Amino acid sequence: MFNQLLQTIQKRLYFLEVSGSHLFKKTRLFPLIAVLVVLLSACDTPEREEENRSTMSFVANSTDVEDLVGAPMVIAHRGANDRYNESTITAYKIAARDGVDALEIDLRMTADGRLIAMHDETIDRTTDGNGKAEAYTLEEIKEFETVEVFNNQTTVEVIPTLEEIIDTFRDTEHYYIETRLVDGQPVMEDYLVRLLDDYELISQGLVIIQSFSKQSLEKVYNLEPSIPLTLLYRKGKFNLEDAKSVPYPFIGIESTDVSLEVVNELHEVGKKVHVYFTNNDTQKAEQKRVKAFQVDGYFTDYIEYTKELLETEDS
Protein backbone atom coordinates (compact mmCIF):
# COMPACT_ATOMS: atom_id res chain seq x y z
CA MET A 1 0.00 0.00 0.00
CA PHE A 2 2.74 2.41 1.09
CA ASN A 3 4.90 1.36 -1.87
CA GLN A 4 1.99 1.91 -4.26
CA LEU A 5 1.45 5.38 -2.83
CA LEU A 6 5.16 6.14 -3.10
CA GLN A 7 5.19 4.91 -6.72
CA THR A 8 2.20 7.12 -7.57
CA ILE A 9 3.91 10.16 -6.01
CA GLN A 10 7.12 9.39 -7.88
CA LYS A 11 5.29 9.08 -11.20
CA ARG A 12 3.44 12.37 -10.63
CA LEU A 13 6.72 14.11 -9.77
CA TYR A 14 8.32 12.69 -12.91
CA PHE A 15 5.64 14.09 -15.19
CA LEU A 16 5.46 17.39 -13.30
CA GLU A 17 9.23 17.75 -13.26
CA VAL A 18 9.50 17.36 -17.02
CA SER A 19 6.61 19.80 -17.52
CA GLY A 20 8.65 22.38 -15.61
CA SER A 21 12.00 21.66 -17.21
CA HIS A 22 10.43 21.75 -20.68
CA LEU A 23 9.25 25.32 -20.14
CA PHE A 24 12.58 26.44 -18.74
CA LYS A 25 14.50 24.78 -21.54
CA LYS A 26 12.63 26.83 -24.16
CA THR A 27 15.58 29.20 -24.30
CA ARG A 28 13.85 31.72 -26.49
CA LEU A 29 11.29 32.20 -23.71
CA PHE A 30 13.94 32.76 -21.09
CA PRO A 31 14.25 36.57 -21.42
CA LEU A 32 10.46 36.92 -21.35
CA ILE A 33 10.18 34.69 -18.27
CA ALA A 34 12.96 36.64 -16.53
CA VAL A 35 11.20 39.98 -17.18
CA LEU A 36 7.87 38.55 -15.94
CA VAL A 37 9.48 37.21 -12.77
CA VAL A 38 11.03 40.62 -12.01
CA LEU A 39 7.73 42.42 -12.67
CA LEU A 40 5.71 39.96 -10.58
CA SER A 41 8.13 40.04 -7.68
CA ALA A 42 7.79 43.84 -7.60
CA CYS A 43 4.09 43.53 -6.84
CA ASP A 44 4.15 40.51 -4.54
CA THR A 45 1.50 40.05 -1.91
CA PRO A 46 2.39 37.83 1.08
CA GLU A 47 0.31 35.04 -0.55
CA ARG A 48 2.11 35.49 -3.87
CA GLU A 49 5.47 35.46 -2.09
CA GLU A 50 4.55 32.13 -0.52
CA GLU A 51 3.51 30.72 -3.94
CA ASN A 52 6.74 31.91 -5.54
CA ARG A 53 8.83 30.36 -2.81
CA SER A 54 7.29 26.92 -3.37
CA THR A 55 7.63 27.18 -7.18
CA MET A 56 11.24 28.28 -6.94
CA SER A 57 12.12 25.56 -4.48
CA PHE A 58 10.56 22.99 -6.81
CA VAL A 59 12.75 24.20 -9.68
CA ALA A 60 15.81 24.56 -7.48
CA ASN A 61 15.35 21.04 -6.14
CA SER A 62 15.01 19.46 -9.57
CA THR A 63 18.20 17.44 -9.03
CA ASP A 64 16.63 15.83 -5.96
CA VAL A 65 13.50 15.14 -7.99
CA GLU A 66 15.68 13.57 -10.67
CA ASP A 67 17.14 11.21 -8.05
CA LEU A 68 13.65 10.27 -6.92
CA VAL A 69 12.31 9.55 -10.36
CA GLY A 70 15.32 8.06 -12.08
CA ALA A 71 13.72 4.66 -12.81
CA PRO A 72 13.07 4.01 -16.50
CA MET A 73 9.46 4.17 -17.64
CA VAL A 74 7.61 1.05 -18.71
CA ILE A 75 5.23 2.34 -21.38
CA ALA A 76 2.49 -0.03 -22.53
CA HIS A 77 2.73 0.19 -26.31
CA ARG A 78 -0.88 0.09 -27.59
CA GLY A 79 -1.83 -1.50 -24.24
CA ALA A 80 -0.95 -5.10 -23.42
CA ASN A 81 -1.02 -5.97 -27.11
CA ASP A 82 0.70 -9.32 -26.50
CA ARG A 83 -2.41 -10.54 -24.68
CA TYR A 84 -5.37 -8.69 -26.19
CA ASN A 85 -6.43 -6.75 -29.28
CA GLU A 86 -4.13 -3.73 -29.49
CA SER A 87 -5.43 -0.28 -28.55
CA THR A 88 -8.64 -1.57 -26.96
CA ILE A 89 -9.98 -0.81 -23.50
CA THR A 90 -9.30 -4.41 -22.44
CA ALA A 91 -5.67 -4.20 -23.62
CA TYR A 92 -5.24 -0.99 -21.61
CA LYS A 93 -6.93 -2.55 -18.55
CA ILE A 94 -4.48 -5.47 -18.62
CA ALA A 95 -1.57 -3.04 -18.90
CA ALA A 96 -2.90 -0.95 -16.02
CA ARG A 97 -3.33 -4.07 -13.89
CA ASP A 98 0.31 -4.95 -14.66
CA GLY A 99 1.33 -1.64 -13.11
CA VAL A 100 2.89 0.17 -16.07
CA ASP A 101 4.06 3.78 -15.90
CA ALA A 102 1.98 4.98 -18.85
CA LEU A 103 -0.53 3.82 -21.46
CA GLU A 104 0.63 4.52 -24.99
CA ILE A 105 -2.20 5.57 -27.30
CA ASP A 106 -2.00 6.27 -31.05
CA LEU A 107 -4.63 8.66 -32.33
CA ARG A 108 -6.59 8.89 -35.55
CA MET A 109 -9.32 11.39 -36.30
CA THR A 110 -12.70 10.39 -37.72
CA ALA A 111 -14.50 12.28 -40.50
CA ASP A 112 -16.58 14.11 -37.88
CA GLY A 113 -13.55 15.17 -35.86
CA ARG A 114 -13.54 12.61 -33.01
CA LEU A 115 -10.36 10.97 -31.73
CA ILE A 116 -10.05 7.19 -31.69
CA ALA A 117 -7.27 4.83 -30.60
CA MET A 118 -5.91 3.36 -33.80
CA HIS A 119 -2.33 2.89 -34.92
CA ASP A 120 -2.61 2.41 -38.67
CA GLU A 121 -3.97 4.92 -41.14
CA THR A 122 -6.45 2.26 -42.29
CA ILE A 123 -8.57 -0.10 -40.21
CA ASP A 124 -7.64 -3.07 -42.46
CA ARG A 125 -5.05 -4.83 -40.27
CA THR A 126 -6.77 -4.67 -36.89
CA THR A 127 -10.52 -4.73 -37.59
CA ASP A 128 -13.16 -6.51 -39.66
CA GLY A 129 -13.50 -3.45 -41.88
CA ASN A 130 -11.32 -1.66 -44.35
CA GLY A 131 -10.47 1.82 -45.56
CA LYS A 132 -9.00 4.90 -43.93
CA ALA A 133 -10.15 5.64 -40.38
CA GLU A 134 -10.64 9.30 -41.33
CA ALA A 135 -13.15 8.29 -44.03
CA TYR A 136 -15.70 7.20 -41.39
CA THR A 137 -17.75 9.13 -38.88
CA LEU A 138 -17.55 7.93 -35.28
CA GLU A 139 -20.95 6.28 -35.59
CA GLU A 140 -19.81 4.42 -38.69
CA ILE A 141 -16.48 3.33 -37.23
CA LYS A 142 -18.23 1.97 -34.16
CA GLU A 143 -19.92 -0.58 -36.47
CA PHE A 144 -16.55 -2.31 -36.95
CA GLU A 145 -14.73 -4.39 -34.39
CA THR A 146 -11.09 -5.14 -33.75
CA VAL A 147 -10.37 -8.83 -34.31
CA GLU A 148 -7.36 -10.83 -33.17
CA VAL A 149 -6.46 -14.41 -32.34
CA PHE A 150 -4.66 -15.33 -29.12
CA ASN A 151 -4.01 -18.99 -28.23
CA ASN A 152 -6.34 -20.09 -31.04
CA GLN A 153 -9.16 -17.99 -29.57
CA THR A 154 -10.63 -15.13 -31.57
CA THR A 155 -11.31 -11.98 -29.58
CA VAL A 156 -13.33 -9.00 -30.75
CA GLU A 157 -13.83 -5.58 -29.24
CA VAL A 158 -14.99 -2.21 -30.48
CA ILE A 159 -12.58 0.58 -31.37
CA PRO A 160 -12.46 2.96 -28.40
CA THR A 161 -12.47 6.73 -28.50
CA LEU A 162 -9.80 8.54 -26.51
CA GLU A 163 -12.59 9.85 -24.32
CA GLU A 164 -13.75 6.32 -23.50
CA ILE A 165 -10.22 5.32 -22.53
CA ILE A 166 -9.82 8.35 -20.28
CA ASP A 167 -13.28 7.74 -18.80
CA THR A 168 -12.14 4.24 -17.90
CA PHE A 169 -8.97 5.26 -16.06
CA ARG A 170 -9.45 8.94 -15.23
CA ASP A 171 -6.52 10.07 -13.05
CA THR A 172 -5.42 6.56 -12.07
CA GLU A 173 -3.11 6.22 -15.07
CA HIS A 174 -0.59 8.25 -17.06
CA TYR A 175 -1.26 8.73 -20.77
CA TYR A 176 1.45 8.83 -23.44
CA ILE A 177 -0.44 10.00 -26.51
CA GLU A 178 0.78 10.06 -30.11
CA THR A 179 -0.58 12.67 -32.50
CA ARG A 180 -0.55 12.47 -36.28
CA LEU A 181 -1.09 15.00 -39.01
CA VAL A 182 -4.40 14.63 -40.84
CA ASP A 183 -3.95 15.16 -44.59
CA GLY A 184 -0.65 16.84 -43.75
CA GLN A 185 -2.26 19.29 -41.32
CA PRO A 186 -2.14 19.57 -37.51
CA VAL A 187 -5.88 19.42 -36.89
CA MET A 188 -6.33 16.97 -34.02
CA GLU A 189 -4.37 19.02 -31.47
CA ASP A 190 -7.10 21.58 -30.59
CA TYR A 191 -9.66 18.93 -29.72
CA LEU A 192 -7.04 16.81 -27.94
CA VAL A 193 -5.74 19.55 -25.65
CA ARG A 194 -9.27 20.69 -24.85
CA LEU A 195 -10.26 17.14 -23.93
CA LEU A 196 -7.20 16.59 -21.72
CA ASP A 197 -7.83 19.92 -20.08
CA ASP A 198 -11.51 19.10 -19.44
CA TYR A 199 -10.44 15.97 -17.59
CA GLU A 200 -7.78 18.00 -15.69
CA LEU A 201 -5.10 15.57 -16.81
CA ILE A 202 -2.63 18.27 -17.84
CA SER A 203 -2.67 20.12 -14.54
CA GLN A 204 -2.20 16.83 -12.72
CA GLY A 205 0.87 16.01 -14.83
CA LEU A 206 -0.65 12.82 -16.22
CA VAL A 207 0.09 13.33 -19.91
CA ILE A 208 3.02 13.25 -22.32
CA ILE A 209 2.38 13.94 -25.99
CA GLN A 210 4.60 12.37 -28.64
CA SER A 211 4.78 12.81 -32.38
CA PHE A 212 6.95 12.22 -35.42
CA SER A 213 5.70 15.63 -36.55
CA LYS A 214 7.47 18.75 -35.25
CA GLN A 215 4.56 20.74 -36.64
CA SER A 216 2.15 18.87 -34.39
CA LEU A 217 4.35 19.26 -31.30
CA GLU A 218 4.71 22.99 -31.98
CA LYS A 219 0.94 23.29 -32.20
CA VAL A 220 0.48 21.45 -28.90
CA TYR A 221 3.13 23.66 -27.29
CA ASN A 222 1.36 26.80 -28.47
CA LEU A 223 -1.95 25.54 -27.11
CA GLU A 224 -0.56 24.37 -23.76
CA PRO A 225 3.14 24.91 -23.03
CA SER A 226 3.14 22.85 -19.85
CA ILE A 227 2.60 19.49 -21.58
CA PRO A 228 5.86 17.49 -21.78
CA LEU A 229 6.59 16.58 -25.40
CA THR A 230 8.47 13.79 -27.13
CA LEU A 231 9.89 14.08 -30.62
CA LEU A 232 9.93 10.69 -32.33
CA TYR A 233 12.41 9.79 -35.05
CA ARG A 234 11.60 7.11 -37.61
CA LYS A 235 13.77 4.04 -37.86
CA GLY A 236 16.99 4.87 -39.71
CA LYS A 237 16.20 8.60 -39.68
CA PHE A 238 17.58 9.49 -36.26
CA ASN A 239 19.73 12.65 -36.27
CA LEU A 240 21.70 13.24 -33.08
CA GLU A 241 22.49 16.92 -33.73
CA ASP A 242 18.84 17.66 -34.49
CA ALA A 243 17.69 15.76 -31.39
CA LYS A 244 20.13 17.68 -29.19
CA SER A 245 18.89 21.01 -30.50
CA VAL A 246 15.10 20.57 -30.36
CA PRO A 247 13.26 22.13 -27.40
CA TYR A 248 11.64 18.88 -26.22
CA PRO A 249 12.57 16.99 -23.05
CA PHE A 250 12.03 13.50 -24.48
CA ILE A 251 13.47 11.94 -27.61
CA GLY A 252 11.86 8.76 -28.99
CA ILE A 253 14.20 6.53 -30.98
CA GLU A 254 13.78 3.15 -32.67
CA SER A 255 15.98 0.66 -30.84
CA THR A 256 18.37 -0.15 -33.68
CA ASP A 257 19.33 3.55 -33.84
CA VAL A 258 20.19 3.61 -30.13
CA SER A 259 23.84 3.44 -29.07
CA LEU A 260 25.74 4.34 -25.90
CA GLU A 261 27.06 7.48 -27.60
CA VAL A 262 23.54 8.60 -28.57
CA VAL A 263 22.18 8.09 -25.05
CA ASN A 264 25.15 9.75 -23.35
CA GLU A 265 25.08 12.79 -25.62
CA LEU A 266 21.34 13.27 -25.14
CA HIS A 267 21.68 12.88 -21.38
CA GLU A 268 24.44 15.49 -21.40
CA VAL A 269 22.03 18.06 -22.81
CA GLY A 270 19.35 17.06 -20.30
CA LYS A 271 17.14 14.95 -22.53
CA LYS A 272 15.60 11.60 -21.73
CA VAL A 273 15.65 8.76 -24.24
CA HIS A 274 12.54 6.65 -24.80
CA VAL A 275 13.02 3.64 -27.04
CA TYR A 276 10.50 1.94 -29.30
CA PHE A 277 10.78 -1.35 -31.16
CA THR A 278 9.70 -2.40 -34.62
CA ASN A 279 10.67 -6.07 -34.67
CA ASN A 280 8.94 -8.39 -32.19
CA ASP A 281 11.42 -11.18 -32.91
CA THR A 282 14.38 -9.12 -31.69
CA GLN A 283 12.60 -6.82 -29.23
CA LYS A 284 13.51 -8.65 -26.03
CA ALA A 285 17.20 -8.85 -26.99
CA GLU A 286 17.07 -5.18 -28.00
CA GLN A 287 15.54 -4.21 -24.65
CA LYS A 288 18.40 -5.99 -22.92
CA ARG A 289 20.96 -4.24 -25.14
CA VAL A 290 19.63 -0.71 -24.58
CA LYS A 291 19.21 -1.30 -20.85
CA ALA A 292 23.02 -1.30 -20.65
CA PHE A 293 22.96 2.29 -21.98
CA GLN A 294 20.55 3.40 -19.23
CA VAL A 295 17.76 4.55 -21.48
CA ASP A 296 14.85 6.27 -19.75
CA GLY A 297 11.80 4.55 -21.18
CA TYR A 298 10.64 1.47 -23.08
CA PHE A 299 7.61 1.46 -25.39
CA THR A 300 7.20 -2.20 -24.69
CA ASP A 301 5.12 -4.87 -26.40
CA TYR A 302 6.07 -7.29 -23.59
CA ILE A 303 5.23 -5.57 -20.32
CA GLU A 304 5.97 -8.53 -18.04
CA TYR A 305 9.36 -9.10 -19.68
CA THR A 306 10.36 -5.44 -19.43
CA LYS A 307 9.35 -5.19 -15.78
CA GLU A 308 11.37 -8.28 -14.95
CA LEU A 309 14.34 -7.04 -16.98
CA LEU A 310 14.38 -3.75 -15.11
CA GLU A 311 14.06 -5.44 -11.74
CA THR A 312 17.02 -7.73 -12.48
CA GLU A 313 20.37 -6.56 -11.19
CA ASP A 314 23.04 -6.47 -13.89
CA SER A 315 25.63 -9.22 -13.44
**Interface residue list for Ca ion (CB under 5 A):** 106, 178
- Rounded to a whole number of angstroms, the minimum distance from the CB of residue 87 to ligand G3P is 10
Nearest-10 Cα torsion for 212, 167, 86, 284: 70
Q: Which of 127, 210, 216, 287 lies at the binding interface for ligand G3P (CB under 6 A)?
A: 210
- Rounded to a whole number of angstroms, the minimum distance from the CB of residue 76 to Ca ion is 11
Q: From residue 244 to residue 263, what is the string marking binding to ligand G3P with x (rule CB under 6 A)?
A: --------x-----------
- Rounded to a whole number of angstroms, the minimum distance from the CB of residue 114 to Ca ion is 19
Cβ atoms of residues 53 and 40 within 8 Å: no
- Please identify, using beta-carbon distances, which residue of 249 and 252 lies nearer to ligand G3P: 252
Q: Which does 101 bind (CB under 5 to 8 A by kind): Ca ion, ligand G3P, none?
A: none
- Rounded to a whole number of angstroms, the minimum distance from the CB of residue 33 to Ca ion is 32
Q: From residue 175 to residue 194, what is the string marking binding to ligand G3P with x (rule CB under 6 A)?
A: ---x----------------
- Please identify, using beta-carbon distances, which residue of 21 and 287 lies nearer to Ca ion: 287
Q: Which does 126 bind (CB under 5 to 8 A by kind): ligand G3P, Ca ion, none?
A: none
For the chain, give the secondary structure using H, E and C: CHHHHHHHHHHHHHHHHHHHHHHHHCHHHHHHHHHHHHHHHHCCCHHHHHHHHHHHHHHHCHHHHHHHCCCCEEEEECCCCCCCCCCCHHHHHHHHHHCCCEEEEEEEECCCCCEEECCCCECCCCECCCCEHHHCCHHHHCCCEEEEEECCEEEEEECCEHHHHHHHHHHHCCEEEEECCECCECCCHHHHHHHHHHCCCCCCCCEEEEECCHHHHHHHHHHCCCCCEEEECCCCCCCHHHHHHCCCCEEEEEHHHCCHHHHHHHHHCCCEEEEECCCCCCHHHHHHHHHCCCCCEEEECCHHHHHHHHHCCCC
Give the residue nearest to ligand G3P (CB).
276
Binding of residue 299 to ligand G3P (CB under 6 A): yes
Q: Which does 252 bind (CB under 5 to 8 A by kind): Ca ion, ligand G3P, none?
A: ligand G3P
- Rounded to a whole number of angstroms, the minimum distance from the CB of residue 176 to ligand G3P is 7
Number of residues this chain uses to bind ligand G3P (CB under 6 A): 10
Sign of the four-CA dihedral 69, 167, 82, 139:
negative
- Rounded to a whole number of angstroms, the minimum distance from the CB of residue 252 to ligand G3P is 5
Restricting to residues 116-155, which ones interact with ligand G3P according to CB under 6 A?
Answer: 119
Restricting to residues 57-116, which ones interact with ligand G3P according to CB under 6 A?
Answer: 77, 104, 106
- Rounded to a whole number of angstroms, the minimum distance from the CB of residue 2 to ligand G3P is 33
Q: Which residues lie near ligand G3P (CB under 6 A)?
A: 77, 104, 106, 119, 178, 210, 232, 252, 276, 299
